[in-house]
Structures are given as structure tokens and as C-alpha cells.
Structure 1
Amino acid sequence: MLPLNPAAVAGVVGRADVLACIFYLSSLLVYHRPTSDKKCMWLSIVLGALSMLAKETGVTILLLNLAFDFYRCWPMVRRSLCPMKFERKHSGLSLRSLKVLVSLALLVCLRLALLQGSLPSFSAQDNPPAFHPSFIVRLMTFCYLAAFNWWLLLCPWTLSHDWQMGSVPLVTSGWDPRNLLTCAAFGALVLLCYRCIADLDVQRHTPAVLGFLLLVIPFVPASNLFVTVGFVIAERVLYIPSVGSVIITAYGVQLMWMSRPGARGALVLGLAILAASGVARTHRRNYDWRDRPTLLRADLVTLPQNAKLHYNYGNYLREADQPEAAVRHYKEALRLWPTYASAHNNIGTLVSGVENAEHHFLLAIRFNRHHVNAHYNLGKLYKKSGKTEQARRMFEKCVSLHPRFVQAHVELLGLNPDKEKRSILKRILQLEPGNWEHYLFYGNWLNSKDFPGPASRYFLEAFRLSLRNRDLGRPVREDLISLRSTALMYRTLGHRSRTLQLLTRWHTWRRGGPSAAAAHLNLREWRLKMELRDRAQLYSQASMNPSKSTRCFDHSQLAVEAADLKVETVGDLKDATLKTIPILHSILVNNEETSVKNAIDNKNSNCKQTCGTKKRTVSIPTQIKTTHNKSEIGRDRHKDKKCSGGSDKDSAVKDRDGMPSIAAPLAEHILLKTF
């Protein structure tokens, strides 16, 4: 690994260059296999397309394959051109060239289509030489930048992950000493071109030709000589050209080893020094890339004139709660680049005093009229100062500049009149349908307009979205906020069963999500409780209207035998549904959290009415305690249609476990038994 390579390996953004290099070299190896095959050629084109999708410069592999194929076939092409006889092999080269060129044109069109038909636009901060009005200055600067990239391959001492905003001063005069490096680099390039052309016939230096092609062709799109790119120097784009540089260096060492046997000792010593220095520099550069502050500090030592580095380091200090040091670096960035709008904006967020902050925000807008954050921060400042109309104009400007700026829409929600809030709320939900806060805003607005039904639906959706993020360590518990709003709305609507279901889901989530079997049992239990509750209400209505009854019941017929109280699973409770109706009715009436001690009082009570009468009263004990879940309630059938009397006898039944009340405040205990 060269010292330049950590920029492509250690940085996440550079992984595209590594992937493009893998497909690039794979396409080269497949195309130039010893055995020619049409499938190999098409596979090489496919690999070139994959390299292009990873990095735009990957499409140059098709040109490189075509150029190297022409170099290998030149002796045969020369023999065919002299007597004007086209051999079969020559026609094969023509067909391959046609297919490769057509594929190249299609891939370029595809890439432009992915870019929506236009090249990316850049600012003067990204590439200052590209915006200079003089063509001579642009040409000299770009030629020097190409030579400087070649120098970085030879001597990678001055390294930085960012070369923008004045890192490389413009070459404005022909007497600039940096033009000497430009002349030396292009002179070496001309010598290599001559060596490649002279070697077309004999082809004795094929490695040098291949290394030259790998050095030049992949770098041409990033050289700013044909297309403007968004940087002046980027170490990661030299990842593929570094392969050509290594091939040329290795081949040069091989030639020196074979041509000068007496100097082999000096050559070995020189190679050892070169390898040791490269390893040391690479290790040091990898250490610089270990984290963000270390990289920024190391690059500031290398390029103290880079305003972008001062700005980025100021951002880090701001995040590290060091506002004074951050302001100092922002001001240094402004000294190096006075029209730096983002630096003015960030200073405005840190300085004290409304007037100072407003001054920096206005300067940021002056230098960059499309700076959305400056408009937004100025609107927040006006809102805090009580200037409502000016704040509203700033937020509307943010929306016009960036229609998908959600924060500006949220701020306008509190400044615009009520008749415009509905459209703003709908727009916010369209922009971020996965944000639970927006549904909460919409629900609160509907609740303020006396629409509790639709408001409950929006509250429930906010609760569902808040449960997706399982992070109990957050300082703001969004699940509690949405749960409270939803539960209060259900209570207003009188939906008691929905409130119970809501609490059950929330407690299940709080416990980290149970297993599938536990969740299934929990759901079955809840459904059974709701069913028993409905039947208890029906029984209560029937008992309060005895005129519809034709039979007389005594307490013995409502009794539950102690020998039958065994329920092993929640599913077995369905068999005891009709026997637990009086008990569950008392649970719903009393709403107490107790266990079963006296299931039935006064088992044999005298019936004070006569059979066959139309009006009867049934005495149901109201102090029956709740029955636990893991108890089984036996079946109790009516033995006789006639009334019978008996003596009072108290019996107490105890279970192994307890079944709590199904009232909403005890929903947490319902889940305890299933985990």
C-alpha cells in the first residue's frame, strides 16, 4: 500500500474507488486472456460497466482495453495495412473495436441519464481555478495540478484529505517556479509516449506500456483538462493510477538489475530505503485517519492555508462544546476566504447578542443567496425576538429554496393562521411519513378542532411509529408521549377495551419484545378476557330485567365446586367461560386487585320466590374476589328446574397463582405471567 492509499481505504467515501479498481483490473485481465473468446469480451464490458457504476472514471477501462489490444495487434495491423490486405485477425480487431466503442457510448449515455442529463455543478469554493476568467491562468493551473498529482505518486509527503479553498494557489504568471515541475512532468510524459510508440514493432517493453496506460487513462477524467470536477486534488482518485506507477517502477528496477550487475548492491540499498520510508509514511498516515479530530489536526499542520480545514475543525470543536475555540477557527477561515457563507452562518449561531448574530446571518445570505440554513437561523432569531412577520418571511424563503425542508414547515405551522395549518400538516406528513412527531402534531390540531375520532387515529399511528425505535435509553421517551396522548383520547371516546389493548402492547414492548409463543398466549388471553367481559355485561342486563326470565335460580346453581378449580393453560379458560360470568361481573363492578379466597358465599340459600312466576330477583354476592389465571373453574350445570333450599355454608378456594383484575391500571400484571 502506498501512502496515498489510506485516503481510499480508511475513508468511507473512498470505498467506491476500491470497488471500481477491483472491477477495473478484473475487466483488464478478462479482456486480455491468452485464449480469445467472445464471452470474455462481453464479460469484460460488463465488468467495466460495474466499475463505472462504482466510480465514473471506471468507464475508461474500455478505452484502455482497446488501446492495449491495438498495441498487441500492431504488428499484424501493420502488415495488413502496407499491401492493403485485410487479414482475418485484422477484421477481428475491427469488430472488437466497434463493439467496445458502441458499448462505451451506451454506458456514457446511461451514466448521463443517471445524472439526469447534466453534469454536476460546483462552486468556486470547490474548484477555484475553474472559475477564473483568464483561460491562460486556468490552463497553467490545471497543468500544474496534473504535475503535482504525479509528484504525489513519487514523493507522497504533503498529504491532506481536502485540498479545496486556496490550498493550491493559482499559477498566474509564466515566471512562477512551479512551472518547472509542470515542464518536468510533461517532459517525462512525452518520453514515455515516445518509448511506447517506438516499441510498437518489437514490443519488448510491454509492462512499461501497460503501466503508462494505467497511469494516464484513468486520471484523464479527473484532470480538469476536459471536464470540470468538484476538486483540485483528491488523493483517492489516484488509487487506480497508482497501479500503473507501481508497474513502471518495478519494471524500471528490473531493467536496472539486468543491465548493471555491478550496481545491484546500491540498487538493493535504494529499494530498501524506499520501501522503509513508504511503510513508515503509510503507517503514519493510517494513524492520522483513525478518527476525525486527529485527521483534521494533522492536515492543518500540512495545509494551514486551507479555509475548509479550519471550518471543519471549528465544526468539531462546536460539537465538543468548545464554542470559543470554534469561533476562532471560523474567523481564521473567514480571513483566508472572506466570502465563506457557511462560516458566517456558524458564527452567528455561537456569538452572543441578537445584533451580532443577525449581522453574520445577513452576511451569509449576502454571499450566498441560496444558503437555506442562514435563512432558517435568521428566521428563528426573528421569532425569538418577537418579529413574527419577518420570521415568517424567512421560513417561506427557506421553503421556496428547499421545498423539502421539514423544519421550516414545522416553524410555519406555529406562525401561519389556522386555515393554512391543515395544508402544512399534510405537506409535512408527505415529506416525512415515518416521523411520529408529525402525526402527533396533526392529532393535536384535530383535537383542538373537536375531531376526537380522527385525532385518535393519528395518535395511534404516532404511537406505532414511536415503538419502531427500540431505544429505552433516550432522554426523551417518545413512546410515553404518544402513549399518553392516545390513551387520553381513547378515554375521552370511552373506548376502554382499546385502552387496555394499547397498554398491553406498550408493556410488551417495554420488556424487550417476548417470544412468539408468549405473544400468542398474551393475545389469546386478552381476547378471552374481552369475550368474558361482554358476556358478563349481557348477563348483568338479563339479571336486571327479570320479567324476561321464566326460571328461578338459587345460589347453589351459581356455585363453583372447589374440586374443579384447575386450569393449566390460558386456552383452557375458554371451557370455563359461562361459569366465570358472575365472578367477572363482580370484577368489572368492583375493579379491585385481589385474589380468590371465597368463591361462593351462602351456597345453600332459601329461595324466597315461587317457581313459575314472571318476576324474580337473583341475589348475586358482590364481594366475590377475583380468580387467578392458573385456576380452573369447573363446569356447573343446573341440576333441576325446580327451586331448592339449603343451609348456608362458607367455602374458601385458593389457587396456586393469581389472576388479577382486567382493569386498565393493572394491565402490566396481565403480562407478567407469560414471560
Structure 2
Amino acid sequence: MDYALPSVTALLAAVLYINTLSAGFAYDDSRAIQKNPDLLPETPLWNLAYDDFWGTPLTHSGSHKSYRPLCVLTFRLNYLLGELSPWGYHLGNVICHAVTTAIFTLLAQKLFAGSGGVSRSFQPDGSGEIQGNGCTPGASLLSGLLDASKIGPATAGLLFAAHPVHTEAVAGVVGRADVLACMFFLLTFLSYSLYVSCRHSDQPGSRVVPALLTVLLAAASMLTKEHAITVLAVCVVYDVLVVHRATPRDIFSLAVLTQARFRRALEGVALLAVCGCSLLGFRIYFMGNKPPEFAPSDNPASDSDSLLTRTLTYNFLPAANFWLVLCPRLLSFDWSMEAVPLVESLSDMRNLATAGFYASLVFLVFKVIKALGDCEDSGENGHKSDLSYNSHQNNRDVSMSSNGKNGVHNNITSHNNNHTSTSQKVQQNGLSNGGRAHNGKAATVHKNGHARTLSSIPSSIIPSSFRSVDVVVLSTAMIVFPFIPASNMFFYVGFVLAERVLYMPSMGVCLLVGLGVHSLYNRVLVTNSRHRCLVLVILAILLASFSAKTVLRNRDWQTEENLYKAGVAVNPAKAWGNLANIFNDKQESENAEEAYRNALKYRPNMADVHYNLGILLQNQKRYTEAIESYNKAIHFRPKLSAQGLKAKEAEAHGYTGHSIQWNP
């Protein structure tokens, strides 16, 4: 494995976020870090197992039920090393992002190792003939400054390192939960792929350690952030569709449940199912068997009485999230309070975006199904099959490649102690993907004069390389599954858009872009050097624009004032309200009052803003206006009357002599 490219992408990821090291705490950092009692040394460490992300007991009615003890443990380590110095917390985030980027790039290299590249067969006279194949591994080509075999993983890794949508997760300290969860997500997937490899060994115990490691890493991912448990679903897709190369025919006919060649896949799926159910049961138990409760302003559609509004809005939100990954032009610290207006009618033009998004998704699924079927047909009709059969007998690794012609002998090379033995013959009757013999006949291996059927070779096959369709399948799984918990499909969540939640699904998008560039560069434009250079120029411009956007966005996270000023364009109500509090703390009364009134202009029903404005006015001895603000605060949130607000009103009333008209 080449570690040069992962090192480059990790370095870029670190360099782009160096300017966050001088930033302070912002927005949610205050509650998660500065006011979190679980970070204090005197707090028992065991409290982390019973408290939520913010230090509130999970059984408390006010808890958000966000259970992330491993992430809080890293915050506690930061506190132990530097107490509340922001520098150490931001450094931890940058390191986590760089490591995650390196691991992601390693995975991309593995996926693109044979996803339909090109190969050049050089003749003795030095000439070469370019050969391309959609389902065979590609060899390396040098073109300009980039190795053509690295263009795909380089594109994916560099885009992931520089993507501006990651700024909230990396520049905001609380975003560490998403970055760490993504790192454990990738490690879980790689561990499971190791388990799959060991599963085909003649040593039964060799897969125990990878299996246990997979379970532990999956648990770590869930205990860092909840939606990372979806890696188990991605592993199922990998085992069934990529490793065993199940076709649509296999799935729809339930052959995956009945045929012997899928026995190992079912073993893996059973492991993942038991692991997933156990972890979910554990999570629900610690949550107190109750779902979290959110304010209507956090997710306005959930509070709508109209089924049409809820349906149209929740179908639009995935399209809005996906667009934010594709075009991160406008970013915000918060997307609540109708920053994304409700879709209330069929005439809303945003329904076109919804239709386009789901049409594209259906088209992608259709193309994947067709590609899987085409690969099955090509194997049955005598085309090349890019499979490798790993057999461990007498310490020999036997690799076979099929030319797909019935009754034709293929060479097999056996390796023993790193020495190549004589070629051996395999007589097969059209062996196809998945190790099946055609026409119901068993393929036979002749070795040292003894014949043995392929039934003695492990029935589950590990591909020597990944097809382009494999990359598409895994990329789509990485986009869809991690986003499902945030989609409001099965339960309501406390947000409509959240950039840090897109940290994990963005991996799939980067892989798809990398695959597109890889295919374009190595197959479509293989004979046109000018167009290849144009591809490199476009990539350089895209990477430069993403990098510049990331660095500039990091400046917004330097201070809370910068962050909220930048958020006025997206969420003016919340941004102005938070800015007013900052101005008030700085004793800039005039600016604070203006900001409070700006917030109420966009959203008049914010009880907290009315209350804070009332305090400001009362401190300026503007008692009549203060009483009016207190009345409005109680009107929009009657519970405030039981929390001492009536005392504030009475205090102001004592200076005015006017009666208070309270209408809750």
C-alpha cells in the first residue's frame, strides 16, 4: 500500500485548518465545554456513562439524549492537559480531521485499485497498445504530474480534506463528535474487510480477532456519535454486493439465502445484525426508553398540522442537504427557525429540486442494477471476470483468472515461500462471477495428477480488485445510510440542516466525484492529452476554490461575533438574537437593542429575545417598554411566569404606577 498520497491529503487537511488554532469557543462549545461538569476532574468518570453530550443526565426531561461518552472523554483529556484553553481543543480537532482524511484516502486507493482503468501492454520494440476494460484492473500511467492510476483516489482524498462543508465539524469544537465518529466508521469498515479476508482461511480462529475488532470499533463509533452505527449497514452491502458479487437476480430470487456460495456472507450478516441490535438496545436503554424532545423552532415542520407540508418539506430536505455538499456556497452555524422555509404547497418551485434529486437517485440505482446484471451476463457469456480466488492449502496461495471459454485451460500460479512453482492447469466449464460453474458442471483443478472440484475451494470469493460498479455501490451506501438518522424519516430530530452531520455522507460524494474523474481521465480521454490537461486544470481550480472557501470560513469561527454576523444571511432571527447578547455583554446597549429588535422583526414569537430586551430596557429605566417586552415574553412562553418573570414585571411596575395587562 502506498502511503504517500494519504500523507499528502492529511497534510493538506491539517494546513487548511491551522488558522482555527487561534480561535476561541463558539456557539455550542460554551455548553459542551465551558459549562459541562463532566469535564471537571472532581466529577466521577463514571458519570460520562449516564450523562448526555452536554453533561445532563439522560433520564432528565431536558436532556437531548445525545449520548457520546467517548467524545466527552476526549474533551475531559483536553481539560486535564490545558483546562479551558481553546488552543488544545482545536488542535485535537485538526489532528482528528487529518487522520480521518488519511484513512479515507487509503480506502479510496483500495477501491480504485482496479475500478476500470487502462493498461498498456508494451511490446519488445517499445511500442505500446492501450487496452481498456470496464471490469478489469487498470495499470499505472504517467500523465503530466499525476499518475493516472492515482487520479481517482487523489481527487476523492483532496476534496475530502478541503471540503468547506467540514468547517463546522472541524472549526467548531463540538464537531469533534462527527470527525471522530467518521474515523471509527472507516476503521470499522476496514476491520470488517479484514474479517472477510480471514474468513476464507483454513485456520478457523483467524477471523475471531477481526470480528471482535469490528464489534468494538462499531461500538466506539456509536459511542462517539449515534449515526455512525450505520457503518454496519455499509458492511452488509460490501459483503453481499461487492465481495460475493450478488446480482439483482440473486437478490430478487432470494438466492442469497439459499445458495451455498452465500453461506459466508450470511455468517457476516448475522454477526453485523447481532452487533447492531445489541448496540441499539444498549443505546435505547441508556436513553431511558424515551425519545428526545425538541423545541418546534428547531424543526418547524415537525410542529406543522398539515400532512402535505410535512411531506413536502421532509422530502425536500435531503435534496437541500445534498446540494449543500455539492455547492457549499452559503454556510451557517445554525439552520433552525425556518432558515429553510417550509414547503407548504405543490406550487412551490423547490418541489422541482425534490423531483430532480429523487429522479437522479432512481437513475443511479437503475444504472447500478443494470451494471450488476451486465457483469453477470459478461461472466456467463465468456468475457473476462476480474475475480481472484484465495485458497490456503498446504500453505499455497492459488489465484485463478477465467477467460470464460468452456473447456479452455487457464494457467494457475502457485506461490510457496515466495517461490513460484510450475504452471498448473485448470479445466473449467465457463466459471463465472461468484465461483459458479456453468451448465451445472463443476470446474475441476488438476494438481500433481490429482483432480479436485472447486467445491473444495472456499465457496465465498474475495475480489482481487473492485469494479467501477463496486465503487458506486459503496459510495451510495456511504451517502444514504449515515444520513438516514438525520432525515426525519423514522423519527424527528432537532434540526433540518446541519453541516457537521454531512461530514460522513460527504465521503460517498467525494468517492463518486473521484470515480467520475478516474473514468474520464483513464478511459474516455486516454488518447487525448489536451483534454486530460483540461481535467487537471478544472480539478486544480475546484480544489483551490474549496481550499480558499474553507480558510475564509474558518475565520468566521474565530469569534462568536464573527460567526453570528456571517449567519445573518441564512438565519437572521437567531443570528441577530445571539449578536444582541454579545453586544449586551460588551455593554454596547444601543447595538444590543438594535440587534434584539432586528431579531424580533424576523421572528416575533421568540420569548427569550423579548425577555432579554425587557431586561435591557429596564436597566435603562425605560420601564413601560420593559413591561411590554415582559408581557410578550409571557404571552409566547407562559411557563416563564412561573420562573420569576412576574417578579420582573412587578419590579418594573413599581416604577411606572401602571397596571400590567397579562394575556398568556
Q: From 540, 546, 552, give the equivalent of 1:272.
A: 540
Q: From 605, 608, 614, give the equivalent of 1:342.
A: 608
| TM-superposed deviation, 1:38 | 3.3
Identify which of structures 1 and 2 has the higher relative contact order when contacts are C-alpha pairs closer than 8 Å and 6+ apart: 2
Cα shift readout 1:295-316 (whole Å, capped 9, x = no counterpart): 111221x32x531111111111
Is 2:110 the counterpart of 1:110?
A: no
The correspondence of residues 436-515 of structure 1 with structure 2, limited to 5 A, is none
Normalized per residue, the structure richer in helix is 1
| Paired amino acid for 2:592 | A
Q: From 21, 24, 42, give the equivalent of 2:182.
A: 21
Q: Distance in 1 between matches of 2:612 and 2:648?
A: 14
Q: Distance in 2 between matches of 1:139 and 1:121?
A: 20
Is 2:582 the counterpart of 1:316?
A: yes
Contact 1:45 1:62 in 2 (8 A): no
Q: From 121, 127, 145, give the equivalent of 2:299.
A: 127
Contact 1:144 1:182 in 2 (8 A): yes
Q: Distance in 2 between matches of 1:233 and 1:146?
A: 9
Is 2:214 the counterpart of 1:44?
A: yes
Contact 2:610 2:632 in 1 (8 A): yes
Contact 1:361 1:375 in 2 (8 A): no
| TM-superposed deviation, 1:191 | 2.0
Please, which moves more after superposition, 17-26 or 182-191? Answer: 182-191
Match of 1:367 in 2: 636
Q: Distance in 2 between matches of 1:83 and 1:273?
A: 48
The correspondence of residues 51-130 of structure 1 with structure 2, limited to 5 A, is 51-75=221-245, 86=258, 88-130=260-302
SS at match of 1:32: helix
In structure 1, runs of 5+ residues without a counterpart are: 388-393, 395-675
Match of 1:296 in 2: 564
Match of 1:255 in 2: 519
Q: Distance in 2 between matches of 1:364 and 1:160?
A: 27
Q: From 351, 357, 375, give the equivalent of 1:185.
A: 357
SS at match of 1:165: coil
Q: Distance in 2 between matches of 1:213 and 1:200?
A: 15
Cα shift readout 1:617-660 (whole Å, capped 9, x = no counterpart): xxxxxxxxxxxxxxxxxxxxxxxxxxxxxxxxxxxxxxxxxxxx
Q: Distance in 1 between matches of 2:338 and 2:652?
A: 37
How many correspondences in the alignment? 385
Contact 2:237 2:474 in 1 (8 A): no
Match of 1:152 in 2: 324
SS at match of 1:205: helix
Contact 2:165 2:325 in 1 (8 A): yes
Q: Distance in 2 between matches of 1:84 and 1:170?
A: 43
Q: Distance in 2 between matches of 1:67 and 1:245?
A: 17
| Paired amino acid for 2:198 | T
Match of 1:221 in 2: 485
| Paired amino acid for 1:222 | A
Normalized per residue, the structure richer in strand is 2
| Paired amino acid for 1:135 | L
Q: From 364, 368, 388, give the equivalent of 1:196.
A: 368
Cα shift readout 1:539-597 (whole Å, capped 9, x = no counterpart): xxxxxxxxxxxxxxxxxxxxxxxxxxxxxxxxxxxxxxxxxxxxxxxxxxxxxxxxxxx
Q: Distance in 1 between matches of 2:558 and 2:355?
A: 37
Q: Distance in 1 between matches of 2:560 and 2:271?
A: 46
SS at match of 1:334: helix
Larger radius of gyration: 1
| Paired amino acid for 1:270 | I
Q: From 35, 44, 57, give the equivalent of 2:198.
A: 35
Contact 1:358 1:378 in 2 (8 A): no
| Paired amino acid for 2:172 | G
Contact 2:232 2:272 in 1 (8 A): yes
Match of 1:638 in 2: none
Cα shift readout 1:134-157 (whole Å, capped 9, x = no counterpart): 112112112222111111111110
Identity of counterpart residues, as a percentage?
A: 34
TM (normalized to structure 2)? 0.55
1:272–1:111 distance in 2 versus 1, CA, 3 Å: same
| TM-superposed deviation, 1:242 | 1.0
Cα shift readout 1:506-533 (whole Å, capped 9, x = no counterpart): xxxxxxxxxxxxxxxxxxxxxxxxxxxx
Match of 2:494 in 1: 230
In structure 2, runs of 5+ residues without a counterpart are: 1-161, 200-206, 376-466, 656-661
Q: Distance in 1 between matches of 2:510 and 2:257?
A: 40
SS at match of 2:270: helix
SS at match of 1:163: coil
TM (normalized to structure 1)? 0.54
